[in-house]
Amino acid sequence: MSGPDANVRIALFGESDNGKSHYGAQLLERIEAEKCEIKLRVAAADVSAFDEVRWRLGAGLLAEHTPSGVYQDVVLPVVDAGGRAMDLTWPDYAGEQVRQLIDSRAMKREWLDRTQAAHGWVLIVRPKLAEADDDIFSKPLAHVVRTPDGEATKPRRSIQARLVELLQILLHARGLHERGPVPPLVVLLSCWDELKLPEGTKPNDLLNEQLPLLASFVRSNWGARASVLGLSALGGELDMKQANESFIDRGPENSGFVVEADGRSNPDLTVPIVRLADMSGN
Ligand SMILES: Nc1nc2c(ncn2[C@@H]2O[C@H](COP(=O)(O)OP(=O)(O)OP(=O)(O)O)[C@@H](O)[C@H]2O)c(=O)[nH]1
Ligand SMILES: [Mg+2]
């Protein structure tokens, strides 16, 4: 993955409303403010993909969803604490594109290229959205039998069933390109603060408990090449209309945290990238 001046492409996968854009914006804030392990070697050429989200956060407000059809990359010329120079490519896009990929099982050329060229994959999952997730596996059979005629609705696929499907598509796409080991994977459990979990909760335990199908798929296909981390890009809830003064006073660059594998919280939002680099074995 590295070597001097390596280009490190991260493929980030996540459906809509999972926190991709707020994380990207906060990652940039941290890197520019030098409050993390990764530092810029020179100024980044174009970070406009996150301008709008950063502007909103600076005003203490949540940002809008990324408009459908949008796909943009920022390229960050960075160096990590070990002196490893990387040109980090980080994307932002509308999550419907991932939804379409799963539903159609068809991968457009650009997505195929991104999946195959990436040195590490990040899957961003918001556990809150999976609470009360009801599907063909969890719906009691008695309920199916008792549904009166004409009221039967097709069971939805649960979030974890969709994500396993997605990972299978990605593995297949990767396999068409090269037969080597799977790229390292970080599963990021986003909006961690909204879960109100006891201090010290380990992200992997939460994944096992709340998304057991996804957890076992990741374990059996990635083993030690996967890491499960928690993420709160903002450190708490914000509103679309009501500015949060204490968030403004603290500054976006001082807000948010990652939950490490051992359950400790770390304000360095670049930890997932550092873990991906470590797991690549270089
Ligand atoms: N509590 C909390 N909520 C968050 C945090 N980050 C994001 N959110 C919430 O998650 C929602 C979605 O975040 P986005 O970053 O817009 O999600 P996205 O994955 O980019 O969604 P699309 O642009 O539709 O693909 C936001 O509107 C917030 O409500 C966080 O750190 N804490
Ligand atoms: Mg977005």
Domain segments of the chain: what residues?
A: 6-279
For atom 24 of ligand 1, the residue with the nearest CA is 16
Mean pLDDT for the stretch of residues 212-217: 96
In this model, does residue 175 exceed pLDDT 50? Answer: yes
**pLDDT (0 to 100) of residue 7:** 74
- Ligand 1 pocket check for 72: Cβ under 6 Å: no
Burial of 3 per CB tally in 10 Å (0-12, 13-18, 19+) = exposed
Q: Compute, in angstroms, the gap from residue 95 CA to the centroid of ligand 2.
A: 7
Q: Which ligand is nearest to the CA of 62?
A: 1
**pLDDT (0 to 100) of residue 3:** 47
**pLDDT (0 to 100) of residue 2:** 45
Please tell me the CATH code under which domain 6-279 is placed.
3.40.50.300
119 or 53, greater pLDDT: 53
**Mutate which of 52, 65, 159, 265 for ligand 1 pocket (most atoms within 8 A of beta carbon):** 65
Burial of 167 per CB tally in 10 Å (0-12, 13-18, 19+) = buried
In this model, does residue 89 exceed pLDDT 60? Answer: yes
- Ligand 1 pocket check for 16: Cβ under 6 Å: yes
Q: Compute, in angstroms, the gap from residue 96 CA to the centroid of ligand 1.
A: 14
95 or 81, greater pLDDT: 95
The answer to whether 11 touches 118, Cβ cutoff 8 Å, is yes
39-40 and 71-79 beta bridge pairing: antiparallel
- Ligand 1 pocket check for 19: Cβ under 6 Å: yes
- Look at 58-67, 72-81, 127-136 and tell me which has the smallest mean pLDDT: 127-136
- Ligand 1 pocket check for 49: Cβ under 6 Å: no
91-138 pLDDT per residue, tens = 999 999 999 999 999 898 989 998 998 989 999 999 999 987 765 555
In this model, does residue 163 exceed pLDDT 50? Answer: yes
The answer to whether 278 touches 222, Cβ cutoff 8 Å, is no
The answer to whether 74 touches 29, Cβ cutoff 8 Å, is no
Q: In the sheet that 185-189 helps form, which strands lie side by side, from edge to edge? A: 39-40, 71-79, 85-93, 6-13, 120-125, 185-189, 226-232, 257-259, 265-266
- As a whole number of angstroms, the distance between CA 267 and CA 24 comes to 15
**Mutate which of 191, 194, 258, 265 for ligand 1 pocket (most atoms within 8 A of beta carbon):** 191
Mean pLDDT for the stretch of residues 156-160: 85
Helix/strand/coil percent split, the chain, to 5: 40, 20, 40
**pLDDT (0 to 100) of residue 4:** 47
Q: Compute, in angstroms, the gap from residue 185 CA to the centroid of ligand 2.
A: 21
Mean pLDDT for the stretch of residues 70-98: 91
**pLDDT (0 to 100) of residue 124:** 97
| Structure letter (DSSP) for residue 109 | H
> How does the average pLDDT of the chain come out, rounded?
90
In this model, does residue 224 exceed pLDDT 90? Answer: yes
**pLDDT (0 to 100) of residue 153:** 62
243 or 107, greater pLDDT: 243
For atom 22 of ligand 1, the residue with the nearest CA is 16
Q: Compute, in angstroms, the gap from residue 66 CA to the centroid of ligand 2.
A: 4
- Ligand 1 pocket check for 66: Cβ under 6 Å: yes
**pLDDT (0 to 100) of residue 205:** 98
- Ligand 1 pocket check for 237: Cβ under 6 Å: yes
Q: Compute, in angstroms, the gap from residue 2 CA to the centroid of ligand 1.
A: 31
